[in-house]
A = this chain, B = another copy of it.
Amino acid sequence: MHSVRRPPAMRDVAHLAGVSHQTVSRVVNDHPSVRSETRARVLAAMRALDYQPNVAARTLATNRSQTVGLVTFDTTLFGPSFMVHAIERAAREAGYFVSIASARELNVPSVTEAIRRLREQAVEGIITLAPVAAAWTALGRSLLDVPAHVPIVGMGIDVHAMPEVPMVAVDNAAGAGLATRHLIALGHRTVHHVAGPPEWPEARERMAGWQAALEAAGLPVPRALPGDWSARSGYAAGRALAADPAVTAVFCGNDQMAIGVLRAMHEAGRAVPGAVSVVGFDDMPEAPYLQPPLTTVRQDFAELGRRSMHLLVTQIATGVRQTGQHRSAPDLVVRESTSALAF
């Protein structure tokens, strides 16, 4: 009976190459001071043994985990799911692993728990997609407990609630302004709004941008209808809107809710864009193929993911906490769900 098959360790490589395990370590870490002939021998031994470094041991010795944590809430939403993808890509390119912790619910204990899990894993930094102001309070508290500052980036967070945390997001207010002014320019006397949940800063910012654009144009500001980002909630709001003949233009907080509004209008016999114009937000890949193709505000999720990762890596490398907002400019994509007001 021969020895148990155990993954080869550094010492095995060293033995085979006839050097000390330290030299192997140097080769692994690209330390300059290794004779190239020695290096070649070590590399050959590594290949021969199919050596794989043990991250746990390295983490223990260096106190660096090479891992960043991602706090998510609902990755089934179009935006967040796209971000997860973009962040993973960016992390890999920067040499980091990504570990996910999703918050069960949108409240303080859930987010605190998610952060605790991540910290327990000794992540070097945290990117969060958790959207709630209350959650940010929890995050803030958690951070205060941490001896060294944990590098962190918040995507779509409430900057007022957490000014000390750098944030990356699309300029929601500007995007909402784009959409609203587009509708106003088309001759609509006012624009109605189906909003996302008020707990989400994105939702509040879009609402604020919509309202500001209306006020700037001297137009009345109707009550916004509440939604939860889902097509279902958009449909419910759309039914209410469709019942009011005065409604001719609707700006939706996201594309999914716009889908619901489109459906409700269709059922009520109100043609889009003939009788009412509809604008969404996000520009999901399906938007051009809806009925009618949806005019919407595009945000570049991949770019946002890359920027937040870059910001995080910078903080990790320099050890200095960044702050401030990093906003990317949205574009209005005009398709067929909007048209001039017909008298």
Q: Could you tell me if A286 and B256 are in contact, using CB atoms closer than 8 angstroms? A: yes
Q: How far is the CB of A228 from chain B (nearest CB, A)?
A: 11
Q: How far is the CB of A102 from chain B (nearest CB, A)?
A: 5
A48 an interface residue at 8 Å Cβ cutoff? no
Number of interface residues of A (CB under 8 A): 60
Q: Could you tell me if A5 and B99 are in contact, using CB atoms closer than 8 angstroms? A: no
A343 an interface residue at 8 Å Cβ cutoff? no
A6 an interface residue at 8 Å Cβ cutoff? yes
Q: Could you tell me if A122 and B55 are in contact, using CB atoms closer than 8 angstroms? A: yes
Q: How far is the CB of A229 from chain B (nearest CB, A)?
A: 10
Q: Could you tell me if A85 and B89 are in contact, using CB atoms closer than 8 angstroms? A: no
A121 vs B290: C-alpha distance when bound (angstroms)? 43
A56 vs B54: C-alpha distance when bound (angstroms)? 10
Known: A59-B56, A60-B57, A100-B98. Contact between A76 and B82, CB under 8 A? yes
Contact digits for A265-279, partner B, Cβ 8 Å, 1 yes 0 no = 010000000000000
Chain B's closest residue to A272 (CB) is B291
Q: Which of B7, B55, B82, B147 contacts A7 (CB 8 A)?
A: B147
22 inter-chain pairs at a CB distance below 8 angstroms, sorted by A residue, are A7-B147, A55-B120, A56-B56, A56-B57, A56-B59, A67-B99, A74-B85, A76-B81, A76-B82, A89-B104, A92-B101, A92-B102, A97-B101, A98-B100, A100-B100, A231-B288, A232-B285, A259-B290, A260-B289, A262-B289, A262-B291, A266-B291
Chain A residues at the B interface, C-beta cutoff of 8 Å: 5-7, 50, 52-57, 59-60, 65, 67, 72, 74-76, 78, 81-82, 84-85, 88-89, 92, 97-102, 104, 116-117, 119-122, 145, 147-148, 230-232, 234-235, 256, 259-260, 262-263, 266, 285-286, 288-291, 293
